[in-house]
Amino acid sequence: MWEAITANKRRSRVLLALMALLLVALGAAVGGSMTPRPQEGAAIGALVAAVIWLIMLVAAYYRGDLMVLASMGARRIEKQDAPRLWNVVEEMTLAAGLPSVPRVFVIDSDAVNAFAVGRTPEKGSVVVTSGLMRRLGRDELQGVVAHEIGHIVNLDIRFMTTAAVLVGSISLVSEIFLRGMVHGGSRGGRRRSSDGGGGRGQGQAVLLILALVLALLAPIFARLLYFACSRKREYLADASAARLTRYPAGLASALEKIARGGAKLQSKAKNLMVAPMFIVNPLQKMSVTGMFSSHPPTDKRIAVLRSMAGGAGYAEYESAYRGVTGAGKPCLGPRTLASETESVVVREPTPEPKAKQDAIERAREALDLVDGMAGLLFLKCMCGVRIKPPPDLKRKQIPCPRCGRMHDLSLATTLAANRARAAEGKEEPTAPEGEAEQVYRPQSHKGWESLACRCGNKVQLSPALQAEHIRCPRCQRTIKIES
């Protein structure tokens, strides 16, 4: 993907420069139309717009991913929260050669969708919906995650994250000006008429018309620039996913499910700037193409992946892409194709368990994850029953509904708070100095037991344990084991 990465950097610079000029022009027109001296007002407006642009650019670069994640209500999870999803992310991270495993976030939504954000491959994040976890099998989930990992490897995440915030800032400035004109237009008109006429008044009127036109068209132009640079990226990410998984049919099947099951995220889909970042745009019809489409038609993407006969490498994807789309220009550059010295053989599909049982397990994992995000405390009894008491339960103990064994709930509030901290991506909790020692009395010495540390981590106790103290591997808190 050498050409893709180089092109991404070049297009990103051009796009950001064009957006900057667009915002400065809007600021100059607005400033010139709001003051009796159009030239001075235009200069001040342009300067203010440039300052706003610089502030938003720095914020987008360093905090853009957090802004996007917060706008979508994404919550960070750890490996123990969703082992199946986390293992797939780890596999694709190793296959792609990334320096570290991306952070994993989940959106509580029945929609089937995913996207990636971040500034660098070391700071990347993969975001999926709970509906995607529930409805996709392992190969399909692997294809979607590999697609998002492809965006991280190709440095798409830096451009998409930064552009999303900057396009939003242009829309915000335009909306503020238009609302100001609606609510203060008559007063401004009277002031301009009394300030003097002649050429000055005519120049101010021209700038006012220009400001209105720019305020209406600037967000549209910004989005067109944004969409134009994002369409080809989806094909490149699909090619990366096919190569990383060595199973193009997995991603194709996932895209088919997304197309059938719906990618819309209810009210969250109203976020126009984040929608193009998803693997399938929740605001765009699957077969739509043109200037106002951020993604190529989903049916063509599926056809390309289904047409990859004889291999899962870049050469096979390029051949399938040209055959399906009939495009004259190549999708992958010659340097990328030449870098693949060996053919990538399509692997066999992963043996799936019984369909009904697999669907139940996927639904249970997604439900447990959503319940955990809601702050519920998870307790597993020795008899196998899982108990989910609410964090605000006033009782100190709760019995198992099957065997009657009592479970301590005194740590429910602390566990819920620490889980919330982990979901927000904050630092790992540590045991405070001078804190009273935690004590645990085993229920039985005949089998494995799971105790909850005050930091929220679950510690497993072996039936052969002889030590009087153990240490939590997460917060290093010492826990006394009473006999």
- Active-site amino acid positions: 148
Give whole-number Cα distances, 378 to 65, 80, 412, in Å. 30, 12, 9
Q: What angle do CA 426, 369, 392 make, to 5 degrees?
A: 75
Q: Of 425, 424, 426, 423, which Cα lies nearest the Cα of 82? A: 423
407, 400 Cβ separation under 8 angstroms: yes
Identity of the amino acid at 393: L
Residue with tokens 């060595």: 246
161 vs 66: CA distance, rounded Å: 10
283 vs 269: CA distance, rounded Å: 7
126, 145 Cβ separation under 8 angstroms: yes
Q: Of 361, 364, 415, 365, which Cα lies nearest the Cα of 389? A: 415
DSSP string computed for 318-381:
HHHHHHHH--SS-SS-HHHHHT--S--PPPPPPPP--HHHHHHHHHHHHHHHHHHHTTPPPEE-
